[in-house]
A and B are shown apart, each in its own frame.
Chain A
Amino acid sequence: MRYSAYSIFKQALSGNRMWKPAWREPQPKPHYDVIIVGGGGHGLATAYYLAKEFGITNVAVLEKGYLGSGNVGRNTTIIRSNYLLEGNNPFYEFSLKLWEGLERDFNYNAMVSQRGMLNLFHSDGQRDAYARKGNGMRLHGVDAELLDREQVRRKAPYLNFDHARFPIMGALYQKRAGTVRHDAVAWGYGRGADARGVDLIQHCEVTGIRRENGLVVGVETTRGFIGCNKLALAAAGNTSTVGRMADLELPIESHVLQAFVSEGLKPVVDHVITYGAGHFYISQSDKGGLVFGAEIDFYSSYAQRGNLATVEHTMEEGVSLIPGLSRAKVLRSWGGVMDMSMDGSPIIDRTPIDNLYLNCGWCYGGFKATPASGFCFAHLIAKNETHHVSRFMRLDRFERGYTIDEAGRGPQPNLH
């Protein structure tokens, strides 16, 4: 069923009783060409592009919970491509371009909102580092501007310009960055994949990976054995657990990142803003909630919840940056399990097992990557070769000494 203003009108006249399900609820078939483990954003996007771009439709997505129950429904919805390193920048720009055409592509309004992003800087050194990044973006044709203090003030007059411990000196600005309604991304990809024949199988947990002669032949699940020609892992925070079923050794540690939403407020924050003197970042949704976060809790965790010290620290940074927030109220906090990699960058690659494919290591930046991650992973699965924008995101880069260390913090995952 195609969605449009007309369909809404027509359905309304019949009391909205004739809407069709967004996806089927199929029983698993005994065998698929491709099984994707993980029905989050990346897994669903992979299925969608496999079907749409590469014509592979005999595909199942296995999800242990409900569709989109992982980080795609538990993030701060930011999209951007302001990356420094050659290993990252073209990939995220590819992703941003896909975001820009996504809604008409999958006929679902995910409310891609290119509100512009301000990365504030507070010292000469930080300005130089942002200038380096911005110039790198420009070299790749990505929009970037370096704003001075007054230009920032005009865009966001409510920031703390007068009593800041770390004065705002300016910002790196990416106009095309913004936010997206996160759940709708999972639903749009899921619906699009389903319409093209992909089986989305919810409440189906993978409990084992069956191998014969060094190749994967299928997966054991809570709903029985399901065979496949190719197996693709997109399990985010649970990557290590699933990877262990195939004896993969992975450079991944799971951490919890908290995020927050305020009560609904009339729009005041028009951009996505990051605080250069800390880790705080904020935007405001189309429903009015301020959506924000800061640092991970630093300890390894699979718990999807964090602790109070990190909550307090986040609010300290928030009020320091935007003093007018003080009397507004925080409504809800939540935690997502991040597959932190050892250099802070993701992995989209084959594995030592020929028909097992890996997509992981998204740290706290997986949401913005969803379209490109799905596209590149589908490309890899379909053609057995790496898409050129993800060519640096290899599993063996650590061993070879080609890490993509955007933060320059070395092999300690909680510092990225």
Chain B
Amino acid sequence: MASLITCPHCGTRPKEEFSIRGAAAPKRPSPTAKDEAWHRYVYVRDNPKGRILEYWHHVAGCRRFLVVERDNLTHEVFGVTDAAELERAGADE
């Protein structure tokens, strides 16, 4: 990856249009969650070698945060989803 990203809203665009926020797996805990959960959310990273979820922000396009599913060893991209849609879908489950 990382030469081209297919934005679900804008189509295939070069990497330069995006800014990368970081791991998308950690989810912000509820305000009442334990300290340990907050620590984990902010500081602990699984950092697996292989398939990962990552936030990419289409700053020079639709300005949506996208969740890019990709392999961080081969740089193959498996899918790109709008983060909010993914969040909403997750909330529905």
Q: Do chains A and B touch in the complex (CB under 8 A)?
A: yes
- Decide if A309 touches B43 in the complex (CB within 8 Å): no
The yes or no answer to B63 lying at the interface (CB within 8 A) is no
Across the two chains, which residue of chain B brings its CB closest to A297? Answer: B2
- Decide if A300 touches B75 in the complex (CB within 8 Å): no
Q: A308-B3, A412-B22 are in contact. Are A300 and B47 (CB under 8 A)?
A: yes
Contacts of A252 in B (CB 8 A): 45, 47
Mark interface residues in B34-46 (1 if CB within 8 Å of A CB, else 0).
Answer: 0100011011111
A251 and B22 alpha carbons, distance in the complex (Å):
13
Report the contact-size class of chain B (Cβ under 8 Å from the partner).
20 to 34
- Decide if B14 touches A309 in the complex (CB within 8 Å): yes
Q: Which of B3, B43, B48 contacts A411 (CB 8 A)?
A: B43
- Decide if B73 touches A303 in the complex (CB within 8 Å): yes
Mark interface residues in B18-40 (1 if CB within 8 Å of A CB, else 0).
Answer: 01111100000000000100011
The yes or no answer to A202 lying at the interface (CB within 8 A) is no
The yes or no answer to B62 lying at the interface (CB within 8 A) is no
- Decide if A398 touches B39 in the complex (CB within 8 Å): yes
Closest Cβ of chain A to B51, distance in Å, is 11
- Decide if B47 touches A240 in the complex (CB within 8 Å): yes
Contacts of A411 in B (CB 8 A): 42-43
A398 and B43 alpha carbons, distance in the complex (Å):
7
Mark interface residues in A286-299 (1 if CB within 8 Å of B CB, else 0).
Answer: 00000000000111
Closest Cβ of chain A to B28, distance in Å, is 13
- Decide if B75 touches A303 in the complex (CB within 8 Å): yes
Q: A253-B23, A307-B15, A399-B39 are in contact. Are A302 and B46 (CB under 8 A)?
A: no
Question: Number of residues in A with C-beta < 8 Å to the partner?
Answer: 26
- Decide if B22 touches A253 in the complex (CB within 8 Å): yes
Q: Which of B16, B21, B49 contacts A412 (CB 8 A)?
A: B21
Closest Cβ of chain B to A265, distance in Å, is 30
Closest Cβ of chain A to B71, distance in Å, is 9
- Decide if A302 touches B72 in the complex (CB within 8 Å): yes
Contacts of A301 in B (CB 8 A): 72-73, 75
- Decide if A300 touches B52 in the complex (CB within 8 Å): yes
A302 and B44 alpha carbons, distance in the complex (Å):
18
Closest Cβ of chain A to B40, distance in Å, is 7
- Decide if B47 touches A253 in the complex (CB within 8 Å): yes
The yes or no answer to B74 lying at the interface (CB within 8 A) is yes
- Decide if B43 touches A241 in the complex (CB within 8 Å): no
Q: Which of A240, A249, A299 contacts B20 (CB 8 A)?
A: A299
Contacts of B23 in A (CB 8 A): 253, 300
Across the two chains, which residue of chain A brings its CB closest to B53? Answer: A300
Q: Which of B1, B15, B45 contacts A342 (CB 8 A)?
A: B45
Contacts of B35 in A (CB 8 A): 399
A297 and B18 alpha carbons, distance in the complex (Å):
12
- Decide if A240 touches B48 in the complex (CB within 8 Å): yes
Contacts of B1 in A (CB 8 A): 299
Across the two chains, which residue of chain A brings its CB closest to B3? Answer: A307
The yes or no answer to A254 lying at the interface (CB within 8 A) is yes
Contacts of A346 in B (CB 8 A): none
- Decide if B22 touches A414 in the complex (CB within 8 Å): yes
Contacts of B22 in A (CB 8 A): 253, 300, 412-414
Chain A residues numbered 385-416 whose CB sits less than 8 Å from any CB in chain B: 398-399, 411-414
Contacts of A330 in B (CB 8 A): none
A300 and B23 alpha carbons, distance in the complex (Å):
8
Across the two chains, which residue of chain A brings its CB closest to B73? Answer: A302
Interface residues of chain A, those whose CB is within 8 Å of chain B, are 238, 240-241, 249-254, 297-303, 307-309, 342, 398-399, 411-414
Task: Report 17 cross-chain contacts, Cβ distance below 8 Å, ordered by A residue.
Answer: A250-B44, A250-B45, A252-B47, A253-B47, A254-B47, A254-B72, A299-B20, A300-B22, A300-B23, A300-B47, A300-B54, A302-B49, A307-B2, A309-B16, A398-B43, A411-B43, A413-B45
Across the A-B interface, the 9 shortest Cβ-Cβ residue pairs: A240-B47, A398-B43, A298-B20, A251-B43, A249-B44, A253-B45, A302-B73, A300-B72, A302-B49
Task: List 19 extra interface pairs beyond A303-B74, A399-B39, A411-B43, CB under 8 A.
Answer: A240-B47, A250-B44, A250-B47, A254-B47, A254-B49, A254-B72, A297-B2, A298-B19, A298-B20, A299-B20, A300-B52, A300-B72, A302-B49, A302-B73, A303-B72, A309-B15, A398-B42, A399-B35, A413-B45
